[in-house]
Amino acid sequence: MLAIARYALKSPFHASTIVGILAILSLFIPLVSILSGAIVGLIILTQGLFSGARALLLSVVGITVVSYLVTQSPVMGITLGLVQWLPIVILAEILRRTRSMSFTLVIGMVIAMLVVVAQYVLWPDIDKLWTEYVQMMFQSVELQQSASGMDQLQAGMQELVHWMVIVLVAVMYSTFIGTLMASRWFQARLAGSEGFRDEFLNIKLGKGAAIATLLLAVLSLLVKQDLLLAMLMVMIATFLYQGLAIVHCWSKRGKRKGWIVLLYVLMVIFPQIMAATAFLGLIDNWTDFRSRLRTNESV
């Protein structure tokens, strides 16, 4: 991957070619979109917004042409560029200007919460739309079910779609933050520095963001509105990175790499582990676990 990143930085033509090829591959292999976005972020971090925008423009033109030749519609290429690259462009430019991963996370969290508000204001029936789409996908399965079995299946699908909509923006935001961190990791490795590691291990979102999260958590429990719950999911997703920074710091100082691997495996299996890690990051704004780790190490 470092070879791909190094190749992309050679010129605007190299950058747009790599980004475009990866974007097309992401249509067939979704995880490739993370690498594509990471390259876009790397270009902005190292060469500035203008260079990144130029590479993106050339890539979007190329994808649009391919989209038109395959589907007779240029919409897919433009849509893919906006959805896949615009958020990482914004986050990478914020990081480039502020040189603070913590500040970038907080600003990104605010933007993501505004997206949640827009989601529920502009598409108030989004649950219904997604439910109809999922039912179309499972229509053949429904035909084979009895009446009672079909009712249970539809109820289960509605509950699944309901929670999917609530966590949708939080999951997307987490993906873009992970992509941004991959961009910063590329930048540090190509420069031969440990800058990204130090920035990640020192992520701290601050008491203001922590208090706002606690207040929103209490409010969402009292009011029980999906909008508030979806915003809370974004905040939890953000504090997850501070919690991970604490665990990585603990692992690094105690040389417990196996525990990190176990933690990530458990987070995939049990969402409660992610919530607990995010809570660890939340209370760290008052307890400052990492300073205690440094104190214990010096002793």
**Confidence band, pLDDT 50/70/90 cuts, at residue 154:** low
For the beta carbon of residue 89, count every other beta carbon within 10 angstroms.
20
Residue 29 lies in a domain: yes
Q: Is the pLDDT confidence value at 147 over 60? A: no
Expressed as residue numbers, the domain containing 30 is 1-99
Residue 50 lies in a domain: yes
Query: Would you call 74 helix, strand, or coil by DSSP?
Result: coil
**Confidence band, pLDDT 50/70/90 cuts, at residue 141:** low
Least confident of 61-70, 199-208, 243-252, 254-263: 61-70
- Residue 273: predicted pLDDT: 92
- Residue 138: predicted pLDDT: 61
Residue 208 lies in a domain: no
Q: Residue 5 CA to chain centroid, in angstroms?
A: 20
- Residue 101: predicted pLDDT: 95
Residue 70 lies in a domain: yes
Cα(89)–Cα(38) distance, rounded to whole angstroms?
A: 10
Mean pLDDT for 156-165 is 78
Cα(91)–Cα(128) distance, rounded to whole angstroms?
A: 31
**More confident of the two residues 62 and 227:** 227
- Residue 299: predicted pLDDT: 42
What pTM value is reported for the model?
Answer: 0.87
C-beta separation of 280 from 243 below 8 A: yes
Residue 77 lies in a domain: yes
Query: Which tokens hold the place of 203?
Result: 């992520």
Residue 55 lies in a domain: yes
Q: Is the pLDDT confidence value at 7 over 90? A: no
pLDDT tens string 56-105 = 777 777 777 776 777 666 676 677 777 778 899 999 999 999 999 999 99
Residue 162 lies in a domain: no
**More confident of the two residues 61 and 235:** 235
**Confidence band, pLDDT 50/70/90 cuts, at residue 199:** very high
The number of folded domains in the chain is 1
Mean pLDDT for 262-291 is 91
Residue 11 lies in a domain: yes
Phi-psi region of 11 (alpha: psi -120 to 50; beta: other; left: phi over 0): beta
Alpha helices in the chain (DSSP H): 2-8, 12-26, 32-47, 49-71, 75-98, 101-122, 126-137, 139-143, 147-191, 195-201, 207-223, 226-254, 257-269, 271-287, 289-298
11 φ, ψ (degrees, to nearest 5): -165, 165
| Mean of per-residue pLDDT scores for the chain | 84
